[in-house]
Structure 1
Amino acid sequence: MNTWTGPRELLRDPPPTPRARPARARRALTASLALALGVSGLGSATAATEVTQRNPGGLVAVGPVNTEHGYPAWYEDSAQVRTELCLDAGNPLCGFLPGDVPDPTQPISFPGNFPSEAFYMLAGSELELPGGGRAVLVLALEAAFANENPVPGDQVVFARQRVTVRGAPPDTTLTFTHPYGTVTVDTDEEGEGKIVEDVSPAIGNFQTPLKGDIGPFLRWDSGAPEGYLGNPDVEHTITGSPLGQNHFSVTGGGLDLRTDLFTVMGKISTNTGVQADRAVLGDGYVDVFATSRGDQLQVEGQDGVLATTPMEKEEGDSERAYARIAYTGTAPASVTVTNLGDDPVSRSEVPVTDVSVATAATYDGTALSVEAVSSSGAVPEVAGFGALDPVPDRPNTYRGAFPTVAPPVEVTVATSETSRTTVPVLVTGGEASPVGEAPVDPQPDPGPDPGDTTPDNPDAGEAPGAVASIAALPGSVVRGVPTELDGSASPNAVSYEWSQVSGPAVAFSSTTDARPRVTVPLFTTVGAASPSAPDADPVLQLVVTNAAGVAGEPARITLPSDDEVTVAAASRHRPGKELRISGTAVVPGAPTLLNPATTVNVYDTTSGSAVKLGTAQVDSLGNWEFRVKPGPSRRVSTVLVQSSRGGQAEGVVGTG
């Protein structure tokens, strides 16, 4: 086959044409999502680039996270085939290209010598088009990072299908059939087109690829290397399509081409992996919980502290494992669970933490009573009130009573930053509050009293005053995505009351938590027929009270919630032929992968009034493009673009 690049390179991005924007890196291009062009009011101008045949349910399960690199140990398809990441830089069956691994002479290790992308499966195929053009198919289950570079906590896995066309018949719609479905691609005047769908990149949520169209895994129909789906350097016929479409074909625009040859990469997993879920510190013991399909699990010993101990599992298909281990001396900071049935042995490390559980919180009209259990024997504290006292003859149980005339709605009990629980307060008794009396005329201020009991003189017996304090936000708030507010550092606070002062109405997860989550509504939606009026950033307020029920001065915080929108100078309109408008929409300081994705509405403002042209989706790099053919016959020279995340921009559309 006469190709521009070798078989493995076909699976990545094709080389750009001279007019394409320079690539900062190959993966910067691969990160872009498909543009969902929902166009209204343009009749036959509706964009044709879309997925027309789906393939749900191809992947059915995801394995435990491997703590050595932070990705799942495996994914399983509907044919009960499991694959793992192929992480051997010197193994050609893993399909790495030069530069993928920082130091290919050394073993791959996270994060210092780790590729910015790896694959559970990567399959590709190519069609040669008349005149030297080509169409390239990529089907993948890909492990990557939200911001490209290997950074702990940025791991994402997504299911990808992509078709890239160059040198095809211009200004036409092509229909492509592949093993997992059918897509249509609309080509431009130069015969180029592209569709990319990534489902669904979400940091740390490795279940989302199960919703994609990838699966069952494709593999050679015969002769595959032992332990692998295929060889990425050799084209071969395949099997695995649940639709009976083990080929790549194109029709439309005078084309009718088909190939049965694919390059396939994927390492079959024989390991089950292991995930250490939790290690709880008790009175002389550590209780360890883990998840694995394996049956040979153990907690690794630590010299002089704890012994190597096998873990127990229920009979049958249960993946739960447990061990209780006595320790000597100082409790371990962490424990490691190993799966001896894996080759190489799988390991998962988890920190050892204590657990405090509030078992009761009641108010009898005079005092707040709280009872709690601490797994380690550490003394629990009730936020805003103080420490609890041991209960005689009840190990690790603590109780306390705190006089107050105004109890909180709920109390938080903690023994550490990682061990805290919150429970509601149950009122069990007390007299009815006195009815109101006639107002009393104010008397002259007698001045300070040396014996006065004020918040500035707490030793006189009155509870110290509460001061509301809200932690600063690290960046802009992403509309439509919950953001945590933090008022827990408010001195002497016992209860919290959040409210809104101004701006678009936000949704609180709770108005009485110290750390509620708040969601700012989207500025506009795909269904909007006209531009939305600009709104101000929401302003919120926190009021806290002390143990005596006295409220302090409120604290306020403004939520910067608009993204930054631009319209590219390269936007063009050829009346009756094509309208192409592009730009960016970026939320400062926010992750690149947002759910739901940002959308922009594009309005024609040439006549002085805004007429909606359509909607475009913003990709994971913050780029968007609205493109329609043949487009309006009337000239579009200026546009207004509004983002669902609050920003807007005006732009000039050129000709030609």
Structure 2
Amino acid sequence: MQRTISKATTLLLAITASHAQAALFDVDPGPYDPAIGSFAAWYQDTHGRTLDLCLSKTQSSRVPGTPGAPSYMCSLLPEPGVYDDTQPLVFPTNFPPEAFWFTADAAIVDANSGIDLSYGAALEAAFAVENPAEGDQVSFARIRIRVDVPSVGTYTVTHPYGVEVFEVTADDFGTDGGRAINMTRDIGIGAPKTYTGALTGDIGPFLRSVNGPYVEVNPESGAEERFIGDPNLEEPVTGSPFATNFVRIQGPGGIDLQTNLFAISGKLSNLVRPTPVIVQRATYSRSTGEEGASSQQDVFAMAPPPPGTAEYADTAGATVPMTEANTTGNWYGQSTASPSLPASVEITADNSAAIPESTPTTLASPLVDLVRIERAEYSLSSGQLTLVASSSDEVSPPALSATASSGAAIGSLTGDGATKTLTTGITPYPPASVIVTSAHGGSDTEEVVILP
């Protein structure tokens, strides 16, 4: 479930990616410990970091606390009558109504322009009835942007997990002063004690301080604990899936303000977890050109960035090193081997240099051809659907078949080479999109263009 509360209209949620755009990889499957409220103990991101639910009363050695305001390394939120942080944690009688696996907060305040922006990203544990109660536990990924702006107009906010565009009108200036932009987007709220929904949210990989991890001693257990940041400090960060490790607001009158300082909380788990790997694409191509036959195997994968490593074994058994360009965790490698079908490749990622508790992972993936739909048109006057599609295998062109987005079969494409066509009547309505699938495993989806 996604919940969005926005005072100004969000026109565009830009920057998309495959596999859930931000990148949380996995969550504790249970059983869940009543001592921590029966919440998931941990979440893991695609950069390999696993964060525990942050309930520790460990304090910062960099920022001294004050009476009544300890400098906790976790974002603990005392609430009178509900949670007293000076007393032992007991669920549900003395438990925070909100707890976090991760938080990242930033602010931009500029008196000259009239901009007062607060930004928060969080992976949160909460309760459907607000106060702690057994059977009401939920989790969600939150992005919150609140801005006082000086005037109407279009404002663009770029942040580590995306881009939001707001069209502010006179009606957006209300009783709360200039806070014309007030957006909260919560993704993942589902049935109680179902924590997988947050995996599809906007959070991940976890931002982390460039100066961390920090090691502190828990005053209650005497054990050392590690944290990806110190929420009592504002520091530069890394980890954005788009390499946008900042918050920037652009608006009318030349407004262009930016900060790269965040207050980060997150407790690193001692749990031993495999290195996360997500195969984004594993395809081959073969051609017969003027200079002779050629072939290549292209593998794209999401895995922890350097100092993590990634490689794959091609269909000839050769090890192919993969490269990563900008610390976002997107890897690529290419081989010139020609596969014997059916074929697969094995991707291996190792993140132990960054996280000693991480173990290497080897993941097999089918190697398929790359299918491209070049034309998908439907004529309203004739009732004819025309498709043109091609396979990257020009040496042994595969059969291509088409289905509608509903799953209904449309028919087979014909032709002697790698490019094939299909023209067929469909009534009374065309499909919204079509899928062309190759006998060699590849497929492509395209929206149908409607002609008169």
Give the TM-score normalised by structure 1: 0.34
Q: Select the structure of larger CA radius of gyration.
A: 1
Structure showing greater relative contact order (alpha-carbon pairs closer than 8 Å, 6 or more residues apart):
2
Give the TM-score normalised by structure 2: 0.48
Q: Going by fraction, where is strand more abundant, 1 or 2? A: 2
